């Protein structure tokens, strides 16, 4: 158990099959929460849920495309049935497609808007309905949305990705306000992760080289590190730790906030 105790809490983590979401799910489980992994990647999602279960925590997998309203309804029902409650949603699933504005494609922009912005909005909808008084879970809770440092800087090649993540930022604030005003008992916050050297982070570094913005990936990563006061990339564990903190009672008076975990890059 780390510094934050989530014993008895019941979490759904979207995009939890791999990458940051899997690390968040593992960290939440290590803090005592039961975790449902929700992802379109069934094979990796089941393997991640199994690994968490083998570590002694309560875990399950549910297939979910976050862009599907009806899928959310059953994912929340599965979470309540599997874990016995639902009081923590991590809206983590996201995609990054690197394009210059002169070359954006309608389909790729719509895909990012759907997954990165509509997805979390539908998640908030169904979490509010389930967690608020009288809902099938009914005990309130917390939502953590995964935005990005891209919402707080201007990096070339990621205009539409940055726009979707800026949308997540504002969605978070209004969701927190509606929850408070309407007495749902749900805190809503977001995290702005800095660049992590994982699948998505390295793909971005390669993409900006392919677009001719940097001579090679070392220079692309170096440009990020050079703008980061702490002088390095983020780790998945550091992002997951921030999610655990915001989910915990230590953050009990924090709502409508955005927490940068970016080494100071976004100012
Ligand atoms: N990696 C980084 O450097 C970085 C930095 C800042 C923010 N983020 C954000 O963190 C989140 C996780 O990123 P990651 O690096 O782990 O990416 P990743 O590509 O490794 O994992 C994303 C996961 O989301 C799932 N997913 C994709 N579309 C989905 C959909 N429609 N429905 C359900 N699941 C879906 C994928 O199957 C995958 O398991 C994303 O929102 C990303 O924008 C990442």
Per-residue pLDDT tens digits for 179-191: 999 999 999 999 9
Measured by CA distance, the residue closest to atom 5 of ligand 1 is 195
- The per-residue pLDDT for 2 is 78
Q: What's the 217 CA to ligand 1 centre distance in angstroms? A: 21
Q: What angle do CA 28, 33, 36 make, to 5 degrees?
A: 80
**Can you say how many angstroms the Cα of residue 143 is from the centroid of all Cα atoms in its chain?**
10
Of 12, 13, 14, 15, the one to substitute when testing ligand 1's pocket (max ligand atoms within 8 A of C-beta) is 15
Measured by CA distance, the residue closest to atom 30 of ligand 1 is 65
pLDDT tens digits along 64-94: 999 999 999 999 999 999 999 999 999 999 9
**Beta-strand relationship, 88-91 and 59-63:** unpaired
Q: What's the 76 CA to ligand 1 centre distance in angstroms? A: 20
pLDDT tens digits along 36-47: 999 999 999 999
State the chain's mean pLDDT as an integer.
Answer: 97
Q: Residues 224-244: what's their mean pLDDT? A: 98
Measured by CA distance, the residue closest to atom 37 of ligand 1 is 41
Q: What's the 146 CA to ligand 1 centre distance in angstroms? A: 9
Q: How many CB atoms lie within 10 A of CB 41?
A: 16
Kindly state if the Cβ of 93 falls inside 6 Å of ligand 1: yes
Q: What's the 242 CA to ligand 1 centre distance in angstroms? A: 16
Per-residue confidence band for 132, with pLDDT thresholds at 50, 70 and 90: very high
pLDDT at 1 > cutoff 80: no
Q: Please give the positions annotated as active site.
A: 161
| pTM of the predicted structure, to 2 decimals | 0.98
Q: DSSP letter at 215?
A: S
Q: What's the 199 CA to ligand 1 centre distance in angstroms? A: 9
Q: For the stretch 147-183, what's the b/e string if a residue is b when 16 or more beta carbons lie within 10 angstroms of its beta carbon? A: bbbbbbbebebbbbbbbbbbbbbebbbebbeebeeee
- The per-residue pLDDT for 165 is 98
Q: What is the atom index within ligand 1 of the atom nearest the CA of 197?
A: 3
Kindly state if the Cβ of 14 falls inside 6 Å of ligand 1: yes
Structural contact between residues 188 and 142, judged by C-beta atoms closer than 8 angstroms: yes
- The per-residue pLDDT for 267 is 80
Kindly state if the Cβ of 67 falls inside 6 Å of ligand 1: yes
- The per-residue pLDDT for 155 is 96
Q: What is the atom index within ligand 1 of the atom nearest the CA of 65?
A: 32
Measured by CA distance, the residue closest to atom 12 of ligand 1 is 20
Angle between helices 119-131 and 69-83 (to 10 degrees): 40
- The per-residue pLDDT for 47 is 98
pLDDT tens digits along 146-169: 999 999 999 999 999 999 999 999
CA dihedral 264, 265, 266, 267 (to 10 degrees): 60
Q: Residues 173-201: what's their mean pLDDT? A: 98
Q: What's the 39 CA to ligand 1 centre distance in angstroms? A: 10
Q: What is the atom index within ligand 1 of the atom nearest the CA of 96?
A: 43
């Amino acid at each position: 158990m780390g510094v934050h105790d989530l014993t008895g809490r019941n979490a759904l983590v979207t995009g939890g099959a791999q990458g940051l979401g899997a690390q968040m799910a593992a960290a939440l489980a290590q803090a005592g929460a039961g975790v449902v992994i929700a992802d379109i990647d069934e094979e990796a999602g089941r393997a991640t849920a199994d690994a968490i279960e083998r570590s002694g925590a309560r875990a399950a997998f549910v297939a979910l495309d976050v862009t599907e309203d009806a899928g959310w309804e059953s994912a929340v029902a599965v979470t309540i049935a599997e874990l016995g409650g639902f009081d923590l949603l991590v809206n983590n699933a996201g995609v990054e497609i690197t394009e210059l504005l002169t070359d954006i494609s309608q389909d790729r922009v719509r895909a990012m808007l759907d997954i990165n912005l509509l997805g979390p909005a539908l998640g908030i909808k169904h979490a509010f309905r389930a967690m608020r008084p009288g809902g099938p879970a009914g005990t309130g809770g917390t939502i953590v949305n995964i935005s990005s440092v891209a919402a707080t800087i201007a990096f070339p090649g990621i205009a539409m990705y940055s726009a979707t993540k800026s949308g997540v930022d504002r969605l978070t604030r209004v969701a927190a306000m509606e929850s408070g005003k309407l007495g749902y008992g749900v805190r809503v916050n977001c995290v702005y992760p800095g660049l992590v050297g994982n699948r998505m982070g390295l793909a971005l570094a390669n993409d900006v080289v392919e677009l001719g913005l940097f001579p090679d990936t070392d220079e692309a990563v170096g440009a990020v590190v050079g703008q980061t006061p702490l002088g390095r990339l983020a780790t998945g564990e550091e992002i997951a730790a921030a999610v655990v903190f915001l989910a915990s009672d230590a953050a009990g008076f924090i709502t409508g906030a955005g927490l940068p975990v970016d080494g100071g890059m976004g100012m």
